[in-house]
Chains A and B, each alone.
Chain A
Amino acid sequence: MKSLDELKAIRERAQQALKMRESGDGVVVQVAMGTCGIAAGARGVMMALLDELVLRKRSDVFVTQTGCAGLCEKEPIVTVKVPGKSDVVYGGVTDQKARDIVGSHIINGQIVSDYVLNIKEA
């Protein structure tokens, strides 16, 4: 037996899982997943990003993949796209760096300048 308040609680809890299917303008984090990226550990980076986002309850951030951009020696490459702001490209990302990017760039809005390869003006 549930009350109206309990239904509301379930609704809010389950909301995170469905965010992805709404066409919104959320933050997109792109992980380069060409052969070069995968060889350099992009999959571990992606899993670290996803895990950190779950820990911080940020289901409105979408993690997607993209192909090789030609800068294979700088892989794994991660691009953070915040709507209305410049795209920030990070290179040589490790699992730990991925977690830093989520914490400071996505959550707090501070670009982690040590890892930045390029900033594409919006």
Chain B
Amino acid sequence: MTLHRSHVLVCSGSNCALHSSSFVKDRLTLEISQAGLGDEIRVLETGCFGLCAQGPIMVVYPEGIHYCKVGLEDIGEIVQEHLLKGRIVNRLLFKGTSDKNWMTKDDFDFYRKQERVVLRNAGVIDPENIEESLVRGGYAAFGKALSEMTPSQVIQEITDSGLQGRGGAGFPTGRKWQFTQEAAGDKKYVVCNADEGEPGTSKDRLILEGDPHTIIEGMLIAGYAIGATQGFVYIRGEYLLSIERLQKAINQAREFGLLGKGILGSDFEFDLEIRSGAGAYVCGEETALLNSIEGKRGEPRFKPPYPAVRGLWQKPTLINNVETLANIGPIIQNGSDWFRQIGTPECPGTKVFTLSGNICNSGLIEVPMGMTLREIIYDIGGGIPDGHQFKMAQTGGTSGGCISADLLDVPMDIPSLAKAGTALGSGALLVVDDRHCVVDLAKTFLRFFAHESCGQCTPCREGTTVLLRLMNKLASGKGDAQDITNLQRLSTTMQQASLCGLGQTAPLPILSALTFFADEFHAHLEGQGCPAGVCG
């Protein structure tokens, strides 16, 4: 074994990759070897640290120093000063909200309030090395399930934990597993939904990039519990790094005998394949996703029958989101009582959010369920930049609701947000300051839905188009009160009559914006123009 005196972790998550982190890593490796330090210092790529606005991020161990916005021109100084002489390069440290430079994770307000269960390995391990995953407890929960628990005990543990699906709908995971286990069928399937299409959401991508083995482990446990021998991971086609990393992880798991026949010397058999999507938002809807895996057009099916009864090729199929599956290992390993200590009694566990928009620390965070929106935006997110005021937040992605400053103290969990008239959804959190117009935003959301509606059912196909036309009219100042009434009536029709979640949730951002920002809508039709000065 060679022991390195220092490990340098360079974030290779997609958000840092946009800041050219791979060039940074290559230059660093080159300069370290030119300085003759190649044998003592190990450079590796890791998953997302979460502070994406400050990328590329680099962490030097054993000190744990976080360097931010590292450019190619900074590498020489880091190697010569820090790695050779042990002097920290102060100018590359993150300037926190206080005057003090933030050096290690413990200094960062950004991390202090977070609780990392799903993201426990992101930014810590090399995701392309199964051994590092094993050291951090990877596959231990699966080993425990396989050797010490019956399938029904596994399902009972998941049910007791109170875990709810993290893909948006929030259905109790244990019950879904139980339905699929009880369904009659000679063959059953486990499907991981990684077709993350919600604008402003990239959590599943970053989980897969940072810790692909945790998804394989979650699917193995699910397969054991419901009696499936085959799994599919349906990943968005644009998520090239997720696909590459997961494929490597699947190959390693096969080499280690964790996938295939006779797993770990038992008679359990399970294997995984990746299917990639082609960019349709509707394919994130579970039955459209199943059609797409089968090679058919990605259109939703009628429900019932639900996939648990008749799913992939008409066989009982369990579909879980990436983040849901990432919770399975820790629950089996630590027990449902442990999981219930996190979050709220009605909604246990953590939630991963993607912070974006007008917020200082945009990026990826994981917090206990029930933390207030105010804490997330101001304590973790660092508040609104450039002295502007908070205007609204959209929770749950484009299909989620818009809430105003009155609701800043709403607890961010599934039941509380539903009560507030919005949704926790997939975990996108778009923060908007006072420079933006709600009507203009609503128009943008509708343009997205009109484009993404698959066209199969009339309420959604026609409804999204008509809603967009009405919003365009309102934004241009030519609308009247009747248009707003029509907007509301059509929204209700779509919510009740659309075939799938796309058409059912498309009106939510409009209706919630109408509830919280009625004045702003009315200003647009009374000929006063746009209060924010955005609509032309």
Given A23-B106, A54-B1, decide whether A67 and B62 contact each other with a Cβ distance below 8 A: no
Offer 15 A-B interface pairs, CB within 8 angstroms, sorted by A.
A3-B264, A4-B265, A7-B256, A10-B134, A11-B140, A13-B1, A14-B132, A14-B134, A15-B135, A16-B1, A18-B132, A23-B105, A34-B85, A46-B5, A63-B5
Given A2-B256, A34-B85, decide whether A64 and B139 contact each other with a Cβ distance below 8 A: no
Do B131 and A14 touch (CB < 8 A)? yes
Do B40 and A46 touch (CB < 8 A)? yes
- Residues on B with C-beta less than 8 A from A94 are none
Do A7 and B85 touch (CB < 8 A)? no
Q: Which of A34, A50, A66 contacts B3 (CB 8 A)?
A: A50
B143 at the interface (CB under 8 A from A): yes
Shortest distance between the CB of B413 and any CB in chain A (Å):
29
Q: Which of A21, A46, A54, A62 has the most CB of B within 10 A?
A: A21
Q: Which of A4, A10, A18 contacts B147 (CB 8 A)?
A: A4
Do A64 and B132 touch (CB < 8 A)? no
Q: Which of B6, B86, B147, B265 contacts A67 (CB 8 A)?
A: B86
Number of A-B residue pairs with CB-CB distance less than 8 Å in the complex they form: 89
Q: Which residues of B contact A (CB under 8 A)?
A: 1-7, 9, 40, 61-64, 84-87, 104-106, 124-125, 131-132, 134-136, 139-140, 143, 147, 256-258, 262, 264-265
In the complex, A46 Cα to B40 Cα: how many Å? 10
A sample of 4 more A-B contacts (CB under 8 A), given A17-B4, A21-B9, is A1-B262, A21-B7, A59-B3, A62-B5
In the complex, A38 Cα to B35 Cα: how many Å? 13
Of chain B, the residue at the smallest CB distance from A1 is B257
Do A54 and B85 touch (CB < 8 A)? no
A20 at the interface (CB under 8 A from B): yes
In the complex, A63 Cα to B4 Cα: how many Å? 9
Shortest distance between the CB of A69 and any CB in chain B (Å):
12
Q: Which of B62, B106, B131 contacts A20 (CB 8 A)?
A: B62
Q: Which residues of A contact B (CB under 8 A)?
A: 1-4, 7, 10-11, 13-18, 20-21, 23, 28, 30-31, 33-34, 38, 46-47, 50, 53-54, 59, 62-67
Of chain A, the residue at the smallest CB distance from B104 is A23
- Residues on B with C-beta less than 8 A from A13 are 1
Given A7-B134, A14-B134, A46-B40, decide whether A21 and B61 contact each other with a Cβ distance below 8 A: yes
In the complex, A62 Cα to B61 Cα: how many Å? 9
Given A2-B257, A10-B131, A14-B135, decide whether A65 and B85 contact each other with a Cβ distance below 8 A: yes
- Residues on B with C-beta less than 8 A from A10 are 131, 134
- Residues on A with C-beta less than 8 A from B7 are 20-21
- Residues on A with C-beta less than 8 A from B1 are 13, 16-17, 54
- Residues on A with C-beta less than 8 A from B147 are 4
In the complex, A15 Cα to B257 Cα: how many Å? 20
Given A1-B262, A47-B40, A62-B62, decide whether A11 and B256 contact each other with a Cβ distance below 8 A: no
- Residues on B with C-beta less than 8 A from A17 are 1, 3-4, 132, 135
- Residues on B with C-beta less than 8 A from A62 are 5, 62
In the complex, A96 Cα to B262 Cα: how many Å? 52
Of chain A, the residue at the smallest CB distance from B143 is A4
Shortest distance between the CB of B531 and any CB in chain A (Å):
49
In the complex, A4 Cα to B140 Cα: how many Å? 9
- Residues on B with C-beta less than 8 A from A1 are 257, 262, 265
